[in-house]
Amino acid sequence: MINGNVSHWWQQIGAPTPRAALPGNLTADVAIVGAGYTGLWTAYYLKQQRPELRVVVVEQRHAGYGASGRNGGWLTNSVTGGREQYEKTHGRDAVERFQRAMNETVDEVIRVADAEGIDADIKRGGEFGVAYTPAQESRLRAFAASEQRWKHTDLELLEKAEAQAKINVARTRAAVWHPHAARIQPAKLVAGLAAAAERLGVEIYERTRVVEIAPHRVHTTHGTVSAEYVVRATEGFTANLKGLHRLWLPMNSSLIATEPLGADVWDELRWNQGEVLGDFAHVYMYAQRTADDRIAIGGRGVPYQYGSKTDTDGRTPEVTVETLSEILHRFFPVTRNAAIDHVWSGVLGVPRDWAATVGLDRATGIAWGGGYVGTGVTSTNLAGRTIADLILGNDTEITGLPWVNHRVRKWEPEPLRWLATKGLYAAYGLADRSELAGRKQTSPIAHIADVVTGRH
**Residue 456 scores a pLDDT above 60:** no
Question: What is the average per-residue pLDDT within 76-101?
Answer: 93
Output the pLDDT for position 48.
98
Cis before 415 (ω within 30): yes
**280-322 pLDDT tens trace:** 998 889 999 999 999 999 997 677 787 777 777 899 999 999 9
**331-364 pLDDT tens trace:** 999 999 999 999 999 999 999 888 999 999 999 9
**Rounded distance between C-alpha atoms, residue 252 and residue 349, angstroms:** 9
CA–centroid distance for 304 within its chain: 16
| Beta strand pairing call for 181-183 and 74-76 | antiparallel
Q: Is the pTM of this model over 0.85?
A: yes
> How many CB atoms are closer than 10 A to CB 114?
12
**Rounded distance between C-alpha atoms, residue 362 and residue 391, angstroms:** 9
Alpha helices, DSSP H, located in 209-336: 263-269, 318-331
**Rounded distance between C-alpha atoms, residue 140 and residue 134, angstroms:** 10
**89-132 pLDDT tens trace:** 999 999 999 999 999 999 999 999 999 999 999 999 999 999 99
| Beta strand pairing call for 276-279 and 286-289 | antiparallel
**Rounded distance between C-alpha atoms, residue 166 and residue 289, angstroms:** 13
> What are φ and ψ of residue 308, in 5° steps?
60, 35
